[in-house]
Amino acid sequence: MELKKKREAGSLGHYFILFILPALIIYLTFSILPFIFTFIYSFTDYTDIKIRNLDFVGLKNYITVLKTPLMKIAIKNSLIYAVVLTGFQVILGLPLAVVLNKKLKSRNLLRAIFFFPAVFSSLIIGYLWNFILSSSDYGLINNMIHQLGFKTINFFTADRALFSVIFTQIWQWTGWAMVIFLANLQGISPELYEAASIDGADERQQFFNITLPLMCPSVKIIVVTGLIGGMKAFDAIYSMTSGGPGNATETVMTVMMKKGISDGFYSVGSAFGVCFFIIVLIVSGFTNKLMSKWSDAIG
Amino acid sequence: MKRKVLSMVLATAMAMGLLCGCGGEKEPTTTPVESTEAQEAVEETTTAEGEKVTIRMSYWNSEDTMAAMLAFLAEEVPNVEIEYQFIDNSNYDTIIDTQLSAGEGPDIICESPGSALKHARLGYLAPVDDLAAKYSAAGTSIYSYEGSTYALPGISWFEGIWFNKAIFEENQIELPKTFDEYITVCKKFQEMGITPLAAGLKSWEPMLKNSMAFVSAEYLSTEAGSGFGEDYRNGKVTLDGTWNEYVEKWSEMITSGVYTTDMTGVDHDQALEQFATGGAAMFCSGPWDYEAIMAKNPELQLDMMPFYGTQESDGWLIGGPGCGFAVNEASANKEAAMEVLAAISTIEGQAALWENNQGGSSYLDGAAFDLPEAYTSVAGTLAAGNVYCPWNEWGVAASAHETYGTEMQSYLLGTQDLATTLQNVDTAVAELLAK
């Protein structure tokens, strides 16, 4: 009997085209093509009033982006949002994962509880927290504060609103980070801990010398996806503050929606999109480099 | 071998499925509620009767607000089937703009004055001059562009100050007749431990409307201010330098603690709840909230008062034509759409439209309706025609009224002074006008 030749990776011949074609078409149509058009439009005078016979305007739209104070506020807020959210996801998610990796009776229940908020849409979470944080008597927290005899705390002042939104997102996404960390933790060989115990290392030393260095891959995933996702924040902001009060919580995406779409400045919106793409590219490139260095250092 | 064949069949099926999904009809826009069944029903009616035309009408208000009018049109124009398409206000302009620029879009479009002007300028709308002649100039002028009218005004919207009559009577407080009296009334309530005004300042709308109503009463309605709107849209004047003294005076609403920074943590629905359940004496809103307020507290003795300037007057309400009915120039069923507009432009049509929008008034000559009891204290204001919406005069820069509202939030929070606030609005308006 002739033995079937085992097919090796990459030897699918022309078949592979059939498999990748659907995804490739979707990717090209909905991602690459719009980006190319966005790039082209960013050098034109395309608005909702002028939609045909577009003229080339050079870097005018990019200068507008750099000169508009609202754009600067948006970029600053997006960076704060991305860094604080990602930072807390790691700081809170990692120890949580370590604790819930131990043999606790309630660990499955606790894992489910902490992961539960991530199941919902950020819009729903936003509307829910909107009610909880309201300064009116119907706001859950302020109602309790009033009953204790204290004055109203407004969580949506110009200074606090952005951090109130970030807080809700930390609450929602820490459980998700915990699950990624847990998956990584479960891949660490128990023999390493046994060997460390024999050598006399206590739990703290084991955490810092074994667990933490070997968590590099999952930390990298959380940091890179968290920063990119944070920079693109829209739904939570939209549902909780719509960019307000004033412009206190405007982010890159909310401003792009307002200026680029609602106000009909399509070309300026496109230029803003291209600038944003470059910023995200730099941030993720820098993060990748940093994480790789960490990875190399422990490797 | 079998696996190979199976994988090829599956992959081909997936690719075919994708390509089929990408293709299809050129008319992809349907309401979320429209199912395949509804589509089939429309086709069935058209084919069975042969001559029935199906047209699409879009609006940012839900179908409930048009129920009586749609029923009237079904009887009055039996050869036209209307597919009502509700599009949420936050995305309305974007969706309509996209559809119109692609040469598609609804046959009848409900337009705000700003978008009507823009669409008329781009040649998307058919002129409706003959029908417009049946309406008062106050309703049609804001839909006019280069000598033609492009939309017919619907029932007017207005916003005033809802008040709880029982709270006023129990505390023996008289209704104010001027802005200063209004502030005094608010202070009296504060001294009694009653919140004078419930306001959801998380939204940019309340301070926009409240302050603009004061400026309307104090300046825009005077001879000196009557031409401001036209001059502003022509770039001849700015808010900064013109409105400062009026908004400065209106700022007593902030300095006297009627509007507080804490209110930026309250949204519209929460403020409505606070007022409806007796937690505040007043609440700024319009007829669209009447049902919601009464549903929360059917015992509430509700009335509405207007906004005032410093001089005693009939008061002012912020408002204007709620929606202008326009016909898509590219519509394949333009005649049918015009037929529908003609039916709306009758006393009966306006009565049907008013049925679900009670409180507002019609701009059609000869159409007048009784005012419900809840509007007793604004009857004089409405009779005097003191309903005005300043940003309706800003032309293509009308959407900058949102910037005005958000800048006023920053002003309330103390992050910028009044001059900067008004300058920022001027900048946004200038950008929009320069498009």
- Model confidence over A15-52: pLDDT tens digits? 788 888 999 999 999 999 999 999 999 999 999 888 88
Give yes or no for residue B35 having a pLDDT over 70. Answer: no
Q: Which whole number is the average pLDDT over B117-128?
A: 93
Q: Please tell me the predicted confidence (pLDDT) of residue B222.
A: 93
When mean pLDDT is compared over A99-108, A144-153, B204-213, the highest value belongs to: B204-213
- Which residues of A touch chain B, with CB atoms under 8 Å apart? 15, 18-19, 21-22, 25-26, 29, 47-51, 130-131, 133-139, 152, 154-158, 161, 241-248, 261-265
Chain B: residue nearest A7 by CA? B4
Question: B242 or B136: whose pLDDT is higher?
Answer: B242
Q: Which of chain B's residues have a Cβ under 8 Å away from the Cβ of A48?
A: 97, 101, 118, 435
What is the average pLDDT value for chain B, to the nearest integer? 87
Q: Which of chain B's residues have a Cβ under 8 Å away from the Cβ of A262?
A: 93-94, 399
**Chain-chain contact of B11 with A18 (C-beta, under 8 angstroms):** yes
Q: Please tell me the predicted confidence (pLDDT) of residue B13.
A: 53
Q: Which whole number is the average pLDDT over B411-421?
A: 95
Question: A87 or B21: whose pLDDT is higher?
Answer: A87
Å between A197 CA and nearest CA of chain B: 51
Q: Which residues contact B419 (CB under 8 A, 6 or more apart)?
A: B240, B244
* pLDDT tens-digit readout, A190-219: 999 999 999 999 988 998 889 888 898 899
What is the average pLDDT value for chain A, to the nearest integer? 89
**Distance separating the N- and C-terminal Cα atoms of chain B:** 64
**Chain-chain contact of A154 with B97 (C-beta, under 8 angstroms):** no
Q: Which whole number is the average pLDDT over B325-338?
A: 95
- Rg of the Cα atoms in chain A: 24
| Interface contacts (A, B; CB < 8 Å) | 114
Stretch among A149-153, B247-251, B257-261 having the lowest mean pLDDT: A149-153
Q: Which of chain A's residues have a Cβ under 8 Å away from the Cβ of B101?
A: 48, 51
Q: Please tell me the predicted confidence (pLDDT) of residue B372.
A: 87
* pLDDT tens-digit readout, B381-391: 988 889 999 99
Which candidate in A47, A61, A136 is best for mutational testing of the B interface (most B CBs within 10 A)? A136
C-alpha span between B269 and B13 (Å, rounded): 50
Q: Which whole number is the average pLDDT over B321-339?
A: 93
Question: What CATH architecture is B157-316+386-433?
Answer: 3-Layer(aba) Sandwich (3.40)
DSSP string, A167-229: HHHHHHHHHHHHHHHHHHHTTS-HHHHHHHHHTT--HHHHIIIIIHHHTHHHHHHHHHHHHHH
Q: DSSP class of residue A211?
A: I
Q: Please tell me the predicted confidence (pLDDT) of residue A71.
A: 84
Q: Please tell me the predicted confidence (pLDDT) of residue B8.
A: 54
Sorting pLDDT into bands at 50, 70 and 90, what band is B34?
very low
**Chain-chain contact of B432 with A263 (C-beta, under 8 angstroms):** yes
Give yes or no for residue B25 having a pLDDT over 80. Answer: no
Amino acid (one-letter) located at A117? P
* pLDDT tens-digit readout, B332-372: 999 999 999 999 999 999 999 988 877 788 899 888 888 88
* pLDDT tens-digit readout, B284-306: 999 889 989 999 999 999 999 99
Question: What CATH architecture is A79-249?
Answer: Orthogonal Bundle (1.10)
**Chain-chain contact of A244 with B415 (C-beta, under 8 angstroms):** no
Q: Please tell me the predicted confidence (pLDDT) of residue B39.
A: 41
Nearest CB to B413; choose among A48, A158, A263: A158
Amino acid (one-letter) located at B77? V
Chain A: residue nearest B271 by CA? A136
Q: Please tell me the predicted confidence (pLDDT) of residue B20.
A: 42
Question: B53 or A15: whose pLDDT is higher?
Answer: B53
DSSP string, A51-90: -SS--B-TTHHHHHHHH-HHHHHHHHHHHHHHHHHHHHHH
Q: What top-level class would CATH report for the domain B51-153+320-374?
A: alpha beta
Q: Which of chain A's residues have a Cβ under 8 Å away from the Cβ of B22?
A: 25, 29
Please give the model's pTM, rounded to 2 decimal places: 0.81
Q: Please tell me the predicted confidence (pLDDT) of residue B26.
A: 37
Give yes or no for residue A299 having a pLDDT over 80. Answer: no
Q: DSSP class of residue B174?
A: P
C-alpha span between A231 and A245 (Å, rounded): 20
List, by residue range, all CATH 3.40.190.10 domains of chain B. 51-153+320-374, 157-316+386-433
Identify the bridge partners of residue B148 per DSSP, sorted by sequence position: B145
Q: Which of chain A's residues have a Cβ under 8 Å away from the Cβ of B14?
A: 22
Sorting pLDDT into bands at 50, 70 and 90, what band is B43?
very low
CA geometry: angle at B207 spanning B142 and B140, to 5°?
10
Sorting pLDDT into bands at 50, 70 and 90, what band is B28?
very low
C-alpha span between B344 and B175 (Å, rounded): 38
Give yes or no for residue B16 having a pLDDT over 90. Answer: no
Q: Please tell me the predicted confidence (pLDDT) of residue A10.
A: 60
Write phi, then psi, for B312 (nearest 5 degrees): -65, 135
Sorting pLDDT into bands at 50, 70 and 90, what band is B252?
very high
For A264, the 3-state DSSP assignment is coil
